Amino acid sequence: MSQPNHASVSEYPPDMRKSVASNIATQRRKAGMTQSDVGRILGLEKETVCRIESGKISVTIDRLQEFSNIFQCSFHDLLFDENQERHALTSVITKMLDDLSEEERKSVLRIMTETVGLFAAKQGKSNARGVSA
């Protein structure tokens, strides 16, 4: 018989706990919900939800799954924020470009710019960044 997963986010580094707490608040706002709404759904006081969102109360993995279900977001969205993902992606791209010559880097930038432009056009957006190779 398997035990429920009660691992706590408090087992992770403090900066990750803060990030998870902040992501919970962000996803709640994106879902158009108040702390009272969330508390009512989970059977918690509004103050408890506030303390979770401020990182004063750590949440279990099971509780994160409940937040994910309520906000209709992925579990990943609660664990990692966009800045962390962008930083990781930037690091990967930088490492890939490290061994290229200046001319090769310019070619890669040109290809990326054209590709982003194609995706933006497909989505009906313009490339507001004005990046040019």
Q: Which of 18-22, 25-29, 94-98: highest mean pLDDT?
A: 25-29
Mean pLDDT of 109-115: 92
Cα separation, 66 vs 54, whole angstroms: 18
Report the mean per-residue pLDDT for the chain. 83
Element (H, E) at 35: helix 35-42
- Tell me how far CA of residue 19 lies from CA of 6, 35, 38, 59, 60, in angstroms: 19, 18, 19, 12, 15
9-79: what fold? 434 Repressor (Amino-terminal Domain) (1.10.260)
Cα separation, 63 vs 110, whole angstroms: 45
Of residues 119 and 13, more confidence is placed in 119
Mean pLDDT of 105-126: 87
- Tell me how far CA of residue 60 lies from CA of 9, 16, 75, 83, in angstroms: 6, 14, 12, 23
For position 132, what pLDDT does the model report? 45
How would residue 22 be classed by pLDDT, with cut points 50, 70 and 90? Answer: very high
Of residues 11 and 72, more confidence is placed in 72
Mean pLDDT of 45-66: 94
Taking a C-beta distance cutoff of 8 angstroms, is the pair 9, 16 a contact? yes
Taking a C-beta distance cutoff of 8 angstroms, is the pair 79, 24 a contact? no
Secondary structure letter of residue 22 according to DSSP: H
- Residue 127, pLDDT > 80, answer no
Q: For residue 41, with 0-12 CB atoms within 10 Å meaning exposed, 13-18 middle and 19 or more buried, which class applies?
A: middle
For position 57, what pLDDT does the model report? 92
Q: Where are the domains of the chain?
A: 9-79, 82-122
Percent pLDDT > 90 in the chain is 51
- Residue 79's nearest CA partner among 69, 64, 100, 58 is 64
Secondary structure letter of residue 12 according to DSSP: S
Token couple for 129: 């960044």
Mean pLDDT of 71-86: 81
